[in-house]
Amino acid sequence: MCGIIGYCGKRAAKPILLDGLKRLEYRGYDSAGLAVADGTKLNLIRAVGKVSDLEKKGIERPLPGHCGIAHTRWATHGRPSEENAHPHADCGEKIAVVHNGIIENYLELKEDLLARKHLFRSETDSEVIAHLIEEHFDGDLEKAVRMAVQHLDGTFGLAAMHADVPEQIVIVRRGSPIIIGIGEGEYFAASDANALQPYTQKIISLNDDEMAVLHPGGYHIKNLNNEFLEREVEVREGRDDGADKKGFEHYMLKEIFEQPQAIENAYRGRLIESEGVSKLGGLEPVLERLKNLKRLVIVSCGTSFYAGLCGRYIFESLCDLHVEVEVASEFRYRKLKMDGETAVLALSQSGETADTIAAIREAKRKGALILGVVNVVGSAVAQITDAGVYNHAGPEFGVASTKIYTSQLVVLTLMALHVGRYQGLSFSEGSAVIQAIKKLPRQVKKILTDIEHVKKLAQEYSRYKDFLFIGRQHNYPTAMEGALKLKEISYIHAEGYPAGEMKHGPISLIDEEFPTVAIVTQDATFDKMLSNIQEIKARNGRVLAIAGENSGRIADVCDDVIRVPETLPILQPVLNIVPLQLFAYFIARAKGCDIDKPRNLAKAVTVE
């Protein structure tokens, strides 16, 4: 993986491909490449590093042609190198393939192809696709691709070209997203609609085991049984494509400051104050099943997993449910017992997270009701769930998630309120939640007015090489997410821990060079947290507290304090995470890190 763009039309392909790659840079990658057909041969350029490095290599080569494919790679099989960068070619370098996903049986396929005297030039799993197409090509590229993918086990979103069919691109999907963009006399392929923003808003998302053929005169879609399919064109609204940072130095900081609006977008039009309840149109089709739920299992990965952990406390506070939270990548390895009174709720920022999709499919086999919370309209998770809710937070380009996380917490609260009011939650309790939700945007704005204090502290703390983040109850997941933010973008070792586990191991790490960030807002765990802080101070540990505005005693026991407004305990994580995002950002900035595109990370993890 990571990003694919293809073009067939009347314009020169190379500038469009490079522009598309730049619009996919936010996903994270380590190399890039493109192939353009000039009518007699395919011209390939590949480079390690940024798209700008590829662009520099391409200056010397005009690459005439109106049809091409391009790719940004995030290494899975083989180190980042020019040989391992996409596009990959066949023996005669007439075929070019770009691929997102994992080919699980590539070693067996490669062994067989080597026995047939195929010449391999890379360490990747993806190269076998080009050689398989070569095996089956008899002048019909569509047929050759269809036959080649029958041999593949695993996931793929791929695009292929052939020098002998210079105005044709064939794309196929199984488990990794790929879409068609429809312009005026020109057609596009992409793994992400953001690549197509300046060119078209008319999109068709392929489903699994579907393929399409694009050429300047049009396109057609088939399944892998060679049967034609009719698909409706989706017109997506034009969006801020992130090209303008709006005066901010990084997308991440811009998106941190967009959180008041993202939170408001999450609840706008979804609150019925006169009834103390939320209204979520995406859940209406399954409302009767929701009323009778007894068990909820939340599945997600990374930052979304920590949102799910917060969600457990939210649902348990507002509903009469047994709630479990599972890392999606581990979910299908458990012995699962599910019935009609069980719902599985999948959280995914992109809606294309491979492990989460696999978990959904496993839960479907077991008969559970499948719900989703995603930010991307028309994404895979949105398509395969029974019902769900969109974040409406707008695109997020920083690899380290910020505004989607806080948006997820608000959406989870709306969902719990929706279910809870059909169970034991009273009108007055529901009304209190609604009023607290409505205050969140201005409370976050208040935090963002005090960034100079956070910036100064981050400068002081940037010299440390290790951090411990601790919290209890609702703020245990916040500690985990705060630690993740720091390690993601600054490459500093940071651990998030439930504070009650301090004496069961982590306290042995504490000394004057191992600071602790303690989340200690005013709730039922406040006194316990003070005890944990005292234990750390007794061992010469430096403590930075994220504390409520009214937590007076905290300044007496901590070295440094960042104050946040106070709200209901279930919503406090929305506010507590904001200074931790800023803290991580300013430490990474002080260290000179590539904040928006941290090393080794991808925005959308579309492989398992």
Catalytic site positions: 2, 603
**Kindly report the CA angle at 455 between 452 and 458, in degrees rounded to 5?**
155
Q: What is the DSSP letter of 180?
A: E
Q: In angstroms, rounded to a whole number, what is the distance separating the alpha carbons of residues 19 and 34? A: 12
Nearest-10 Cα torsion for 490, 507, 578, 388: 100
8 A C-beta contact, residue 174 and residue 155: yes
Question: Coil, strand or helix: which one is 563?
Answer: strand
> Cβ(433)–Cβ(318) under 8 Å?
yes
Round to whole Å and give the CA distance between 153 and 102. Answer: 8
Taking the CA atoms of residue 253, residue 258, residue 260 and residue 264 in that order, the dihedral angle to the nearest 10 degrees is: -150
Let me know: does 404 contact 375? Beta carbons within 8 Å: yes
Strand partners, 327: 300
CA distances 532 to 472, 529, 538, Å, are 10, 5, 10
- How far apart are alpha carbons 602 and 594 in whole angstroms? 13
Q: Do residues 242 and 397 lie in contact, with contact meaning Cβ atoms separated by under 8 Å?
A: yes
| Contact call for residues 9 and 27 (beta carbons, < 8 A) | no
Q: Is 173 helix (H, G, I), strand (E, B) or coil?
A: strand
Residue corresponding to tokens 């709006």: 246
Tokens at 579, concatenated: 């200074």
Residues 6+ away with beta carbon under 8 Å from 175: 101, 154, 155, 156, 157, 208, 354, 357, 606
